[in-house]
Amino acid sequence: MPAELAAAEATPVRARIWDLPTRALHWLLVLLIPFSWWSATHDHLPWHLLSGFTILGLLSFRLLWGVFGSPTARFARFLAGPRTVAEYVGGRLSQVAVGHNPLGGWSVAAMLLALVTQVGLGLFSVDEDELNEGPLSRFVDFDTGRAIAHWHHKVFWVLVALIGFHLTAILVYALRRRNLVGPMITGVGRLAPGAQAPPLAPAWRMAAVALVAFAFTWIIAHGLRLR
Amino acid sequence: MAVEHRNELLRTLMMAGAVLSAGAAVAAGLTGVDALKDRQAHMKEMGKASKAIVDSLKAGSADPAVIKPNADKIYTNSKAILTWFPKGSGPETGAKTRALPVVWTDQQDFQAKAHDLQVAAANFDAVAGSGDMAKVGPAAKALGQACHACHEKFQAKEKDD
């Protein structure tokens, strides 16, 4: 058992770990990723596109939030070096920061990267009937757009594999009596003794980042049309 | 009465279609895998033409210089489409194809849908030279829906390979 867990169990101190945008974004993805798959496989492509644009907006927000958001949401804080990851996995890390653990941070990064790739491919995908092609498909030719559509089908399974890893990790921690799901719902979780509760980003910053993400998504979804 | 009339018209068209289909396939002399490959090349040509049209519309203009020649290409192809499916050019060839056996077992519906495509392609071709987004946009959508209506029933979903 990692030292962090043993210590936390000795003296549980509870504090807000995850801010509201991080949690809302997480649960929206939980709904939208299966919905995107279902709508694509059941011939509801207009819904699939809307779902994809929503995910694009969420990802844009998340990437900005990884720079400007609350500490536990920031990439610079949760992406650890290889030695730290190895020490954590080996249970030799004495002090683990609040938020994503060194391995979990990379799991989150991998899922975000797969999602960015997936949405990016979708934007350029060409559909045979030219009814529901991606908004940026006019920048690629027919054959390229069809090849991109094939990759869009394949990368989905990479995403599924990464989500499988994520769910397995949650299960492993649950078996070690550590609840990761609760804090992602309420935002409140255990702190290691002596650890400081992380400060939260102010609401105005959330609004500013949301506005930028929305504007970016709007322009992309409209195919960069300048007229 | 109107329905009856439509059915009568459809029957005549289908018979004409069947005769045309058989006749042209013989005329082209393509059977089996050759017919299959020829069909795929034609379908791709139509896909490329559709994309050129949609790209122009998406860029915010119904440029007749782009749209008209591609509309002609689709209309010409739509009139020949039933000749691309001679018996024996389906999955039984062993070649990679997404054409489903139902193409040959439900010829009645297949020919009706081919006819719908010809109507949509003719309508589109008629407005393609106008340069008017308000006319070209909806006609393009109707054309795409005619493609889709047939693919939905007669074409297998893409496999991830």
- Residue A217 DSSP one-character state: H
A and B: number of Cβ contacts within 8 A: 58
pLDDT tens digits, one per residue of A32-91: 999 999 999 998 999 999 999 999 999 999 999 999 999 999 999 889 889 888 888 888
> What integer pLDDT is reported at residue A32 of this predicted model?
98
Amino acid at B125: D
**Of A126, A130, A142, which has the smallest distance from its Cβ to B144's Cβ?**
A130
Name, of A139-143, B60-64, B134-138, the range with top average pLDDT: A139-143
Phi, psi of B105 (to 5 degrees): -95, -20
Residue A6 has pLDDT above 80, yes or no: no
Return the residue of B nearest to A221 by Cα. B58
The answer to whether A137 contacts chain B (CB < 8 Å) is yes
Return the residue of B nearest to A132 by Cα. B144
Judge: B48–A142 Cβ closer than 8 Å, yes or no: yes
Q: Is A135 helix (H, G, I), strand (E, B) or coil?
A: coil
Lowest mean pLDDT among A57-66, A167-176, B14-23, B109-118: B14-23
Quick one: A20 exposed, middle or buried, by C-beta within 10 A (0-12, 13-18, 19+)? middle
pLDDT tens digits, one per residue of B76-134: 999 999 999 998 898 888 889 999 999 999 999 999 999 999 999 999 999 998 888 88
A102-124 vs A82-89: helix crossing angle, rounded to 10: 120
Judge: A142–B55 Cβ closer than 8 Å, yes or no: no
The answer to whether residues B62 and B52 touch, using CB atoms and an 8 Å cutoff, is no
Residue A123 has pLDDT above 60, yes or no: yes
**Mean pLDDT over the full length of chain A:** 90
Cα–Cα distances in angstroms (integers) from residue A4 to residues A9, A14, A101, in the given order: 9, 14, 10
Judge: B59–A137 Cβ closer than 8 Å, yes or no: no
- ipTM of the complex, rounded to two decimals: 0.75
Residue in B63, B74, B70, B68 with CA at minimum distance from that of residue B128: B68
Judge: A130–B152 Cβ closer than 8 Å, yes or no: no
Cα–Cα distances in angstroms (integers) from residue A91 to residues A10, A21, A84, A211, in the given order: 17, 31, 10, 42
**Of B60, B141, B152, which has the smallest distance from its Cβ to A227's Cβ?**
B60
Lowest mean pLDDT among A118-122, B112-116, B139-143, B156-160: B156-160
pTM of the model: 0.83
pLDDT tens digits, one per residue of B46-66: 999 999 999 998 888 888 999
The answer to whether residues B153 and B113 touch, using CB atoms and an 8 Å cutoff, is yes
Give B147 or B25, the one with higher predicted confidence: B147
Taking the C-alpha atoms of B142, B148, B154 and B159 in order, what is their torsion angle to the nearest 10 degrees? 170
A224: left (phi over 0), alpha (psi -120 to 50) or beta: left
Q: Which residues of A touch B58 (CB under 8 A)?
A: 135, 137-138, 223, 225
Residue A207 tokens, joined: 């609004």
**Mean pLDDT over the full length of chain B:** 84
The C-alpha R_g of chain A, in whole angstroms, comes to: 20
The residue among B51, B63, B136, B160 with the most chain A CBs within 10 A of its CB, best to mutate, is: B51
Q: Which residues of A touch B48 (CB under 8 A)?
A: 142
Rounded CA-CA distance B48/B56 in Å is: 12
> What integer pLDDT is reported at residue A129 of this predicted model?
83
Residue A18 has pLDDT above 50, yes or no: yes
